[in-house]
Structure 1
Amino acid sequence: MFHFIQRLSQASPKMLKYTFTLGVGTSRKIEKLALESSLQQNFSSLFSRSWCVSSSFPVYINKTHCYHTSPCSFKKEKQAVLSPRPPSTIAYLTDSPKPALYITLAGLIPFVAPPLVMVMTKTYIPILALTQMAYGASFLSFLGGVRWGFALPQDSPAKPDFLNLANSMGPVVFSWLAFLTFERLNVAIVTVMIGLGMALHAELFLLPHYPKWFRALRLLATLVAFLSFLITLVVENIYPEKGPKRAG
């Protein structure tokens, strides 16, 4: 309003003189035209200012948008950096080479056959239990040789140091103890089971790792052998013995 009054005060004296000489009706029209022109000028200046403000507004919006979305983008980048959890060891069993898989499955037969026959006949057969124990002790010696051979190549992650070579002799020692106590067959079987468990624990958690598919085969073979020996011990206690009596 003050701006409008200032505009009227700056009008030329000719225009004021002309308004007074004309009639009342004509002067009202001139005043109306002057008012409209001043309002148009005021609104045009107002729109120009608002356009200047609105032109800077997208910049503010963009900054706000970046501020609010940056935590989300940070979370996405953080999630991208985090690697997915590796699957369990047994999941790599399908990656095994066919010869290694088939030979391992065939090598489990001497573990499974003796308790299977005893369960089917509902009798405890000591000679079958003895052959199962002897095969388990031989399997322990084989595991020690595998670890020793794994440490020999120059590019192997397992070096021929005291850690690897001493652990490769551990299964052999348990195999030797099992043969020393074969007259007490249940003690020999428990010795083989302890040797299998310690060898698996060392290979999975303490020593440089084998290839993932070989670790899967080792886990499978150990579980099957352990369960087979456990069934044999249960059969000895619940079924009658068949065949010649064992010494001791």
Structure 2
Amino acid sequence: MLRFIQKFSQASSKMLKYSFPVGLRASRTDILSLKMSRQQNFSPFPRPWLSSSFPMYMSKTQCYHTSPCSFKKKEKQALPARSPSTISYITDSPKPALYVTLAGLIPFVAPPLVMLMTKTYIPILAFTQMAYGASFLSFLGGIRWGFALPEGSPAKPDYLNLASSIAPLFFSWFAFLISERLSEAIVTVIMGMGIALHHEFFLLPHYPNWFKALRVVVTLLATFSFIITFVVKSIFPEKGHKRPDQV
């Protein structure tokens, strides 16, 4: 049996030498590769097309196959810088405007602060706080009217700008009209300030950013001071009167 296998291998090697046509002698590499494939597959017939087509197949595979490492890493695109928030523009406001605005907050903050210190609800102080808020609404309407009058102003004196400047005046007038019901009057002032702020930010966006920042601060602090007044009224007794549980 062993001699039969040796003879068979010698005969197959001779066939390999003469299997290629004239002028196309197979290289030693091709013959060795065919021998290895024959030994692995136990095929008695050589397949010369395997070695000749294998390099071409590998070249095509290399063209179509690309490892992830060969891709160039995409440069991270720089994200656009976020625009600063509106309140951050306060530092850009002129110093006189900043100091005058802070001083204008005193009539809003002083009444609830005094009532907290005395632990007493004082109606006259609450009324002065409401009256100052209503006057502030009139002031906001005058600012818009005056801003639209100069030539070259971005706010034209059209119906939109002039009518929106009168809107805070109606809230002010209505707050004084129902001033006997002080809580409802304070709510009217808060609503007027919120609507005026909405107009200045979205409907009429022509004011400078520092002015808008000051408007946000004033509106928030004024609203917070009114809320404190409501809390004081619900917790502490009114001046000159005692709560039923204290009698």
Same topology, TM > 0.5 = yes
Residue among 155, 169, 172 paired with 1:172 = 169
Residue among 196, 199, 202 paired with 2:196 = 199
Tell me the secondary structure at the aligned position of residue 216 of structure 2. helix
Change (3 A) 1:87 1:162: same
CA–CA separation in structure 2 for the residues paired with 1:87 and 1:155? 28
CA–CA separation in structure 2 for the residues paired with 1:155 and 1:84? 32
Structure 2 residues without counterparts, runs of 5 or longer: 1-69, 242-247
Report matched runs for 1:91-102 at 5 Å. Answer: 91-102=88-99
Q: Which residue of 2 aligns with 1:111?
A: 108
Q: Which residue of 2 aligns with 1:232?
A: 229
Q: CA deviation at 1:208?
A: 2.3
Is residue 202 of structure 2 the alignment partner of residue 184 of structure 1? no
Residue among 128, 135, 138 paired with 2:135 = 138
CA–CA separation in structure 2 for the residues paired with 1:155 and 1:224? 34
Q: CA deviation at 1:154?
A: 2.4
Q: Which residue of 1 aligns with 2:152?
A: 155
CA–CA separation in structure 2 for the residues paired with 1:211 and 1:155? 15
Residue identity matched to 1:164: N
Q: CA deviation at 1:181?
A: 0.6
Structure 1 residues without counterparts, runs of 5 or longer: 1-66
TM-score, L = length of structure 1: 0.66
CA–CA separation in structure 1 for the residues paired with 2:231 and 2:106? 19
CA–CA separation in structure 1 for the residues paired with 2:98 and 2:240? 36
Q: CA deviation at 1:150?
A: 1.2
For the 8 Å contact 1:140–1:174, the answer to whether it is kept is: yes
Q: Which residue of 1 aligns with 2:26?
A: none
Q: Which residue of 1 aligns with 2:216?
A: 219
Residue identity matched to 1:156: S
Report matched runs for 1:42-57 at 5 Å. Answer: none
Residue identity matched to 2:86: T
CA–CA separation in structure 2 for the residues paired with 1:151 and 1:72? 51
Per-residue deviation, residues 75-109 of structure 1 (Å, max 9, x unmatched):
64xx4xx6422111100001111100000000000
Q: CA deviation at 1:209?
A: 2.7
Give the share of equivalent positions with the same residue, in percent. Answer: 71
Residue identity matched to 2:141: G
For the 8 Å contact 1:125–1:242, the answer to whether it is kept is: yes
Q: Which residue of 2 aligns with 1:63?
A: none
Q: CA deviation at 1:207?
A: 1.1
Structure that is richer in helix per residue: 1
Change (3 A) 1:159 1:122: same
Runs of 4+ in 1 over 4 A off after TM superposition: none
Give the number of aligned pairs. 176
- Cα RMSD, aligned residues only: 2.4
